[in-house]
Copies of this chain bind each other. A is one copy, B any other.
Amino acid sequence: MAVRVQAQAFDYGAECAAFAAGARGAGAVVTFAGLVRDNAGALTGMEIEHYPGMTERALAAIESEAVTRWSLEAALIIHRHGPLAPGDMIMMVATAARHRAEAFAAAEFLMDYLKSRAPFWKKEFTADRADWVAARDEDEDALKRW
């Protein structure tokens, strides 16, 4: 079980490999990675602000709930903050469980909570403007299924 909040990039492939190697009691490993997507081809960058202290607390609580609820063998959350470029990886989660249904459900639960309950805020930059990303109603709604 691990939570990491960091400004520096992480090595997604190496993290996936290490996570799976450390979850050998599990039959199913699910990973999710979120990338900076450039919708209109105009994005020059993104800045992620967070609330040091609360971020770590919120992520640890979310992860702990997922581990208990789906009897996970292992779980991992990595989330970056600070400046990011289009195509950069923002974050990843990984879950390991006995069966696939639990691993998938736990990963989706972690993502739904991360989207709306972890204190991160994204600002997108184009050549001539900067905008805070608005929370989406569907992200808030997604929480209701858990």
Contact = CB atoms under 8 A, between A and B. Distances in A.
Interface string A96-108: 0010110110011
B28 A31 contact: no
Number of copies: 2
A17 B37 CA distance: 17
A20 B88 CA distance: 10
Interface residues of A, number: 36
What DSSP secondary structure best describes chain A's contact surface?
mixed
B12 A89 contact: no
Interface in A21-40: 23-37
A20 B12 contact: yes
A111 interface: yes
